């Protein structure tokens, strides 16, 4: 679990904003509104923090469950906030054929966390806000569904996982591939020895284009920009650094520019990498560990080429203690998006098939590739049905439903906090190696680089005091 101290509960109770109601105590038991006799159908009341492109997708999935209601929304963009209220009320009525009104709106997430009616929270903000919000939500006594990646730094991810462990909350990371049959099957086949001894895993990710307008612009009146920057250093506002503003008071949910700024995220290495490297860990049974050697190379955008500065096409290689080598790369016609597991007796390839996630993700092209999605193998017999004595992994058929079920049962979800932290860490280790341009040696138990002060300086970033995580 690493050697960092748990996040202080007193810190959250001291700093949480609750309006005029005063400081509230963070319950460490399941809220009565989840299980109480007065709760209709054991309804789970959900609040949403971050109502942009990713948030709306998960909101739609949550709203389709009759035992759940989204009763509050929070966003730093007042136009998106008002739209989220309307979207929630209208969509719930459409999905469940029942009226749903009175969804509350909050401009400060701390006020949402102080709402005693809320049992669980969806966090779908930009990446740099994830770990802090998860920590505060856990200490507020609420369960969490959080979009990946788990954190912007390995240090913050450790604090997040520690807080979930200390409070006993349920956290599901949005690694929804774990709830897709073909990814689970691929991991079962690999762990059952269908391809012999596993030797290598190729992880193929989309790329991100450079560009973006760096020119300073006036801050929109509807955006709390200082809070949006959060713990990161102040930089002038420009549209391509945040998200599209839309027109005529209507929000625009096109892919936001912050995804391509290292101040707020690491690029596709965590964007898609959090999904695929998580599956690699699942197949290797290294979900609570990490690599021991890491090397990577890339070309970052040249100065003056625009605002966006995340990594370009890259190559990486990570050695795990079990002897498996995990190779990362940008997808191509010959090597389509997905994971290729190669062993002494064959290979298995798994992907999302023809699914596209965003307009900027490359269209899947198989080209001359031997592999085909969503799952294929060097020999069809490799994909035969599992026998009773082979490896059978955790089955989830719906990622949000699994989260809701675990809120009720208090069982561990399919993508819990520590697993999320470890898969994100594998991605962030590659980002550090891209910058330092040399092989790095990692201790996955201590979560430190070995005898390398320069590399260890990348494990944590300076934070603005008003928005810092305070242990």
Single pTM value for the model:
0.90
163 Cβ contact list (under 8 Å, min separation 6)? 6, 7, 134, 135, 138, 139
- Amino acid 9: pLDDT: 54
Compute mean pLDDT per 10 residues along the chain, 471 residues long, and list them. 44 42 38 47 92 96 98 98 98 97 98 98 98 98 98 98 98 98 98 98 95 97 98 98 94 96 97 98 98 97 93 97 98 95 98 61 51 88 98 98 98 98 98 98 98 98 91 58
Distance between CA atoms of residues 440 and 430, nearest Å? 9
What tokens appear for 394 in the block?
A: 């955790």
- Amino acid 233: pLDDT: 97
Q: Which of 274, 289, 284 is nearest to 195 (CA)?
A: 284
Distance between CA atoms of residues 258 and 320, nearest Å? 32
What tokens appear for 308 in the block?
A: 């966006």
Is-contact 71 40, C-beta < 8 A?
Answer: no
90 Cβ contact list (under 8 Å, min separation 6)? none
- Amino acid 23: pLDDT: 31
- Amino acid 15: pLDDT: 45
- Amino acid 41: pLDDT: 58
Distance between CA atoms of residues 362 and 206, nearest Å? 6
Strand partners of residue 69: 45
Distance between CA atoms of residues 124 and 57, nearest Å? 10
Is-contact 324 318, C-beta < 8 A?
Answer: no
Strand partners of residue 440: 294
Give the burial class of 99: count Cβ atoms within 10 A of its Cβ; 0-12 exposed, 13-18 middle, 19 or more buried: exposed
CA dihedral 14, 45, 145, 80 (to 10 degrees): -90
Is-contact 51 136, C-beta < 8 A?
Answer: no
- Amino acid 340: pLDDT: 98
Q: Got the DSSP string for 420-468?
A: HHHHHHHHHHHHHHHHH-S-EEEETTTTEETT-HHHHGGG-----GGG-
Torsion sign across C-alpha atoms 315, 353, 56, 65: negative
Q: Got the DSSP string for 259-309?
A: GG-TTT---HHHHTHHHHHHHHHHHHT-TT---SEEEEEE-PPPTTS-SB-
Give the burial class of 161: count Cβ atoms within 10 A of its Cβ; 0-12 exposed, 13-18 middle, 19 or more buried: buried
Sheet with 198-205: list strands edge to edge.
Answer: 375-377, 346-350, 338-343, 198-205, 325-330, 314-319, 293-298, 440-443, 448-449
Distance between CA atoms of residues 135 and 31, nearest Å? 18
Sheet with 120-123: list strands edge to edge.
Answer: 104-106, 68-74, 44-49, 120-123, 143-146, 171-173
């Amino acid at each position: 679990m690493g050697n960092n101290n748990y996040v202080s509960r007193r810190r959250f109770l001291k700093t949480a904003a609750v309006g005029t109601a005063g400081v509230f105590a963070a319950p460490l038991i399941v809220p009565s509104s989840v299980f109480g006799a007065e709760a209709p159908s054991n309804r789970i009341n959900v609040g949403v923090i971050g109502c942009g492109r990713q948030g709306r997708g998960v909101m739609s999935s949550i709203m389709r469950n009759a035992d759940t209601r989204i009763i509050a929304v929070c966003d730093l963009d007042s136009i998106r906030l008002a739209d989220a209220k309307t979207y929630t009320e209208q969509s719930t009525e459409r999905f469940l054929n029942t009226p749903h009104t009175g969804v509350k709106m909050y401009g400060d997430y701390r006020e949402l966390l102080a709402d005693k009616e809320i049992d669980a929270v969806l966090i779908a903000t930009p990446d740099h806000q994830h770990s802090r919000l998860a920590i505060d939500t856990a200490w507020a006594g609420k369960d969490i569904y959080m979009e990946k990646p788990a954190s912007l730094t390995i240090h913050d991810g450790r604090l997040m996982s520690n807080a979930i462990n200390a409070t006993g909350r349920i956290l599901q990371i949005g690694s929804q591939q774990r709830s897709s049959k073909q990814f689970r099957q691929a991991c079962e086949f690999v762990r059952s020895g269908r391809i012999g001894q596993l030797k290598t895993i190729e992880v193929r990710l989309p790329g991100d284009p450079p560009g973006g307008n760096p020119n300073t612009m006036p801050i929109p009146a509807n955006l709390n920009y200082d809070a949006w920057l959060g713990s990161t250093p102040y930089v002038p506002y420009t549209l391509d650094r945040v998200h599209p503003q839309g027109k005529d008071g209507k929000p625009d949910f096109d892919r936001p520019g912050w995804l391509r700024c290292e101040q707020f995220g690491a690029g596709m290495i965590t964007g898609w990498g959090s999904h695929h490297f998580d599956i690699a860990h699942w197949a290797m049974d290294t979900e609570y560990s990490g690599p021991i050697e890491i090397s990577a190379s890339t070309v970052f955008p040249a100065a003056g080429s625009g605002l966006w500065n995340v990594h370009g096409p890259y190559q990486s290689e990570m050695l795990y203690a079990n002897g498996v080598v995990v190779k990362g790369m940008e997808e191509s016609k010959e090597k389509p998006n997905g994971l290729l597991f190669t062993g002494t007796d064959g290979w298995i390839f798994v992907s999302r098939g023809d699914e596209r996630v965003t307009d900027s993700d490359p269209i899947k092209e198989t080209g001359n590739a031997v592999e085909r999605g969503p799952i294929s193998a060097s020999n069809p017999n490799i994909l035969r049905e599992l026998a009773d004595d082979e490896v059978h992994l955790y089955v989830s058929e719906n990622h949000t439903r699994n989260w809701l079920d675990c809120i009720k049962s208090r069982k561990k979800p399919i993508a819990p906090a520590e697993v999320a932290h470890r898969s994100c860490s594998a991605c962030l280790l590659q980002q550090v190696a891209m910058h330092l341009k040399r092989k790095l040696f990692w201790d996955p138990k201590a979560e430190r680089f070995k005898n390398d002060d320069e590399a260890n300086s990348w494990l944590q970033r300076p934070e603005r005091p008003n928005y810092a995580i305070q242990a």
